[in-house]
Structure 1
Amino acid sequence: MSTTEDTDRLTLESGLTVRPWAEGDDLALLEVWGDPENAMHHQDRALLRPSSNDPWSRCIVAEDQGVPVAAATILRSSLHPDRLSFYAEVAPDHRRRGVAAEMLAILEAEASNCSATGLKARCAKRSAAQCFLKDNGFTKIQTTRRVIVQPGALRLPDLERTGLDLQEIATGSVELSRLVADYYNAVHDWDRAEMTVGKAQQLLLGDATGATGAVALRDVSEGGDGAVLAFAVSYTPARTEDPADVLVGWNPELDAAEAEQHIRSLLALLAARHPVELEVDDSMAPLKTVTDELIASGDAEIDFEAFIYAR
């Protein structure tokens, strides 16, 4: 790689020119890349944006004779302080020329003074990105999938007999915010999280997140409001025949068997008449056990599956 006359531009061994991300690059790259393949791909492309120091991020674009054909970014998450997130995409006719690896090297040099000590990246199963990550020293640390649970997939619980009650709970409540924060931290021990009540409101429960409502499965066997055993937050404005997008979790103070039992009851109630779609990581063992059973029986399906690699 050699420096050109413009100090903001670098020439790669592949012959492409690299510069910082600029306004209009998203539209120019869309013409070359085409539409995103799925929701995950759309989310990852949204990481490509101007570099910043707060929050810390760097983003670069590679051009072929002035035409943007590739982009890459590295950024620090406000939730996961130990690893920087990396994403790169290269136009199909410029792949297998080492472009992404050269862009990664440039970004890593920029990150030398950042306190994060590792890198992570997400990719689709059996994708070119997966091969790239393996070839560049990344190791798989997590699998995540979007699962659609069909209506009536689970037997409805007898709430009165079991001392349970399904109640609406305000998305702005401190009780739910604290529970969501504790749950998030508990299921991300593989990538240490610093979720707080305030961040839970900002990132998962506030109006800007699209959260439209929440329910809590409570233990009311001893009277009173009862402790929350499991919860669900909906991001779908109205019930339709399409799956409702929900965040499902449980009280992390429960043991695995109790959590699985209550997740099973909550999912049965949520999907009694309409399909629901939820994200399931390998680290969410009680939820994964239930959804794996439903997938095996044909009562649920995987919408898409992704791997998280780290170095």
Structure 2
Amino acid sequence: MALEYRAWQEGDDLELIQLWGGPESAVAEQFRGSFRTPSDNPWNRCITVVDQGVPVAAGCVYGAALHPDRLWCYIEVAEDHRRAGIGSTLLTMLQHEAAASPSGVTALRSKVTPGTTGAAFAEATGFSTLQRSRLVVVAPGALAAPAFDDAGGPQLEEAATGSVELTRALASFYETVHAWDRADITLGRAQQLFLGDASGAGGAIVLRDKPKDDGGTIAAFAISYTQARTDDPADVLLGYDTALPPSEQQAAVASMIAMLVHQYPIQLELDDSMEALAAVVEPLLATGSARLAAPETLVVANG
């Protein structure tokens, strides 16, 4: 019997998970949550493949508010139905759906874990790597804590998560380190997604090049998304002023990390585009003072 390609329906996820089993990667687990009935607000299209009444594969495509130049897409096929052209057919159908999207955006992006079937499929269908991302745990005492004084040098201070100055620094950092996939991040969006109550932000500290009263600006900042201190690594977003000279960027990042890991470990997301952060963390990974918390992921795109 011929396969049926139809719009996603409620309950498809329960049948597909029974057939698919556990996800092959954290990326796959995350994307599985993107399947839903087609919608125009927010825009998404999801397609289910049915074999003799049983869902065996699915694909979805949807927009990304922060990165408007590409649409997210994901495809998964049951193991016993792979290498039969189902994935390629789904991709073609999703591209047709994308062409009719309100944004007019046709380029697609996805995330894959190297060595998985998803990565192999992406490569075979012409997707190329845009960015590598790693989740890194930095051990306590990995860097010696710097000395701060009140004599006009660098200053470390707490910052309110509602601070306009912090929001501006975060938005500028995010936009710069995502030049590989243009970010449309306003101050309001930065506040909502990274600093507001719904974001889970629990507190923030900033490192200034000199006291604020002397015109000091934010050289680096750290936002914690861990509400209670435990021995587990605290989840931290660390950013810095990308307008500074590279050596000063690295010095600010190193000072911030040293303070954060004085007693406890932290967990950071590190994209290769975060050059100053990578320059500080790479040697720590090489010496074992930092480790990967999960397999690396790649953002891939077909345009």
Of 98, 104, 129, which aligns to 1:111? 98
8 A Cα contact 2:152 2:210, kept in partner? no
Q: Kindly provide the amino acid, as one letter, of the partner of residue 277 in structure 2.
A: L
Tell me the TM-score normalised to structure 1 length: 0.90
d(CA) in 2 for partners of 1:235, 1:26:
30
Deviation at 1:36, TM superposition (A): 3.6
- Determine the structure 1 residue equivalent to 2:259: 269
Q: Secondary structure at the match of 1:279?
A: strand
Does the CA contact (< 8 Å) of 2:4 and 2:50 recur in 1?
A: yes
Deviations 1:20-75 (A, max 9, x none): 12222233322222334554333222222222222321111122222222221111
2:257 pairs with 1:284? no
Q: Does the CA-based 8 Å contact 2:99-2:106 persist in structure 1?
A: no
CA contact (8 A) 2:44 2:60 kept: yes
Greater shift, 18-27 or 182-191, is seen at: 18-27
Structure 1: how far apart are the matches of 2:254 and 2:38? 44
**1:224 Cα deviation (Å)?**
4.7
Distance 1:162 1:48, change over 3 A: farther
CA distance in 2: counterparts of 1:139 and 1:264, whole angstroms: 32
Deviates more, 1:121-130 or 1:54-63: 54-63
Report the counterpart of residue 134 of structure 1 in structure 2.
123
Matches within 5 A, 1:208-287: 208-221=198-211, 223-224=213-214, 226-287=216-277
**What residue in structure 2 maps to residue 188 of structure 1?**
178
In 1: Cα distance, 2:81 partner to 2:204 partner:
46
Runs of 5+ unmatched residues, structure 1: 1-10
Aligned residue in 2 for 1:309: 300
Measured after TM superposition, the shift of residue 158 of structure 1 is 1.1
2:165 is matched with which residue? 175
Matches within 5 A, 1:81-100: 81-100=68-87
Checking the alignment, whether the CA contact within 8 Å between 2:72 and 2:109 is kept in structure 1 is yes
Equivalent runs, 1:127-166 vs 2, <5 Å:
127-160=116-149, 163-166=153-156
Q: Residue 230 of structure 1 aligns to a residue in which SS?
A: strand
Query: What is the percentage of aligned positions where both structures have the same residue?
Result: 46
Structure 2: which amino acid aligns with 1:169?
Answer: A
User: Shift in Å at residue 123 of structure 1?
Assistant: 0.1
Report if aligned partners of 2:95, 2:106 keep a CA contact under 8 Å in 1.
no
The corresponding residue for 1:4 is none
Of residues 50, 75, 86, the one that matches 2:62 is: 75
SS of 1:264 mapped into structure 2: helix
Asked if 2 retains the 8 angstrom alpha-carbon contact of 1:74 and 1:84, the reply is yes
45-54 or 126-135, larger mean C-alpha shift? 45-54
Deviation (angstroms), 1:265: 0.6
Conserved 8 A contact 2:56-2:78: yes
Q: Please give the TM-score of this superposition, normalised by the length of structure 2.
A: 0.92
Q: Which runs of 5+ in 2 are unaligned?
A: none
Counterpart in the other structure of 2:195? 205
- Equivalent residue pairs, number: 298
Measured against aligned partners, the alpha-carbon deviations of 1:93-144 in whole angstroms (never above 9, x if no partner) come to 2222221111111111111133214111110011111111111111112111
* Partner Cα separation in structure 1 for residue 243 and residue 183 of structure 2: 17
- Secondary structure of the residue aligned to 2:296 is strand
Q: State the AA in 2 paired with 1:309.
A: V
CA contact (8 A) 2:24 2:116 kept: no
Distance 1:294 1:265 in 2: 14
The root-mean-square deviation of aligned C-alpha atoms, in Å, is: 1.9
Moved more, 213-222 or 122-131: 213-222
Q: Structure 1 CA distance, aligned partners of 2:176 and 2:236?
A: 19
Distance 2:246 2:106 in 1: 32
Provide the rounded CA distance (Å) in 1 between the counterparts of 2:39 and 2:267. 34
